[in-house]
Amino acid sequence: MPRTPAIVALLSAAALAAGPLHAQAPADTAAIAPRYRAVADRLMDAALADSSAWQRLAELTDRFGNRLSGSESLERAIDWILDGMRRDGLEHVHAEPAMVPHWVRGAESLELVEPRPARLPMLGLGGSVGTPPEGVTAPVLVVSDYDELAAHASEARGRIVLFDAPYVSYGVTVEYRAHGAVAAAKLGAVAALLRSVSPFEMRQPHTGATYYDATVKPIPFAAISIEDAAMLHRMQARGQRIVVTLKMEAHTLPDAPSRNAVAEITGAERPDEVVVMGGHTDSWDVGTGAMDDGGGIVVAWEALRLMKRLGLRPRRTVRVVGWVNEENGDRGGEAYRDAHAADLAKHVLAIESDGGVFRPSGFGFSGSDSALAVVHAVGRLLARIGADTVTKGGGGTDIEPIMARGVPGMGLNTDGTRYFWYHHSDADTVDKLDPREMAECVAAMAVMAYVVADLPEPLPRGAAAAH
């Protein structure tokens, strides 16, 4: 039975009222710092003395470049990660299969025809359909939002609609990337363009997934730079006629086989109980996918390598997963859920790093309040590196499918100031990342995963997760 938030809240309240079970939590929480201070310091010392996370990410991204689902570069990168995990002496290193969507960009271009000829930088949005070989040539209608589109609905037919939506936040503004093509197609537009979803201007387009609606004919959809969106908007305001030619070879092939990459340190006392952590190995087909999300899988992998190197074996198993296909399908997260359906009840915690491996501030946590108190206490061990803030709410796309089955979830929180400057663009490269900050991310992941995996009692799920 699917659990609604209301039912979870009700059951949590019941757990609180039940008393004895919950009453243990404060005592356990107080014991965490004295019990784990020394080992946490060892893990942090090792992480900060060891800059191999950045080097490893540089090698991954230099060797294989970007890693779109269905691409050969992704499969070669997964092989390299698995080989590296074996060379590190990690345990139970293996791949778990997942079928992934296979979208191919092909050649693409956007030419301004009127009022003056110019080639505009563009990126087709992931999942978009292509144009006929000769492209789509049409006048442009610029709108700032859906309201403005509705107000000019009668002018959209036969045109290319440009959404010049101001950046509010990624979560808010990405709506236009996700569903803009459908909104424009419903009014008879022949294609759509998007002001890139980014707070920072480098005259560079940012790609990302877009979605169609089975009831509306799909139209080609591409991102342009913030600067060019503003220019086209000014031209329209001046009353100039704007005509562009959009050419895209984008198309979707049959699903392709891919894999989640898995490695472990098997638990000393309760090997069937698991803390799973990781990031996603796939990326968009631009830049080198360094911060989204090569850095995420590398810091989790490094955290496990450090535990191994220090000879640490917690009570429970710590498992690292490089999930596949976060960007355009979440098939890796779903495959993990299905492959481990029988043991999800024994998944104590899932941690994802997918917000850029910048300076870490702590974690966001989704689970019972009694579990929040425990991970909050664990987080305090990270005060030395300023990563001790554990906030309510958090997770990640790859762990979402198992969180929906009751596994407590957690996302690494980092300084997000610059993440969306580079996100899904050609500028997502390793040079933007700092070795020291990446090492701090490794330290945070290592301490959180190790301590939660070693606690005498499993992280309390509360009555909501009873099975």
Give me the residues that bind Zn ion (CB under 5 A), please: 292-293, 354
Whose CB is nearest to Zn ion?
A: 293
Work out whether strand 347-352 and strand 270-280 pair parallel, antiparallel, or are unpaired: parallel
Between 261 and 374, name the residue whose CB sits nearer to Zn ion: 261
Between 293 and 302, name the residue whose CB sits nearer to Zn ion: 293
Beta-carbon count within 10 A of 11 CB: 17
Q: CB 354 → Zn ion: shortest distance, Å?
A: 4
Q: CB 396 → Zn ion: shortest distance, Å?
A: 8
Work out whether strand 251-265 and strand 316-323 pair parallel, antiparallel, or are unpaired: antiparallel
Q: CB 34 → Zn ion: shortest distance, Å?
A: 37
For residue 123, which phi and psi values (nearest 5 degrees)?
A: -140, 125
Between 267 and 333, name the residue whose CB sits nearer to Zn ion: 333
Distance, CA of 139 to CA of 80 (rounded, Å): 48
Work out whether strand 91-104 and strand 251-265 pair parallel, antiparallel, or are unpaired: antiparallel
Beta-carbon count within 10 A of 20 CB: 6
Between 353 and 368, name the residue whose CB sits nearer to Zn ion: 353
Distance, CA of 138 to CA of 32 (rounded, Å): 65
User: Beta partners for 317?
Assistant: 274
Select which of 326, 327, 400, 440 is catalytic. Answer: 326
User: Beta partners for 365?
Assistant: 392, 410
Identify which of 271, 272, 277 has the alpha carbon closest to the alpha carbon of residue 296.
Answer: 277
Q: CB 282 → Zn ion: shortest distance, Å?
A: 9
Locate 464 and state its tokens.
């909501």
Based on the residue annotation, tell me whether 264 is a catalytic residue of this protein: no
Q: CB 427 → Zn ion: shortest distance, Å?
A: 15
Q: What is the DSSP letter of 220?
A: -
Burial class (CB in 10 A: 0-12, 13-18, 19+), 140: buried
Between 293 and 454, name the residue whose CB sits nearer to Zn ion: 293
Which sequence positions are flagged as catalytic? 326
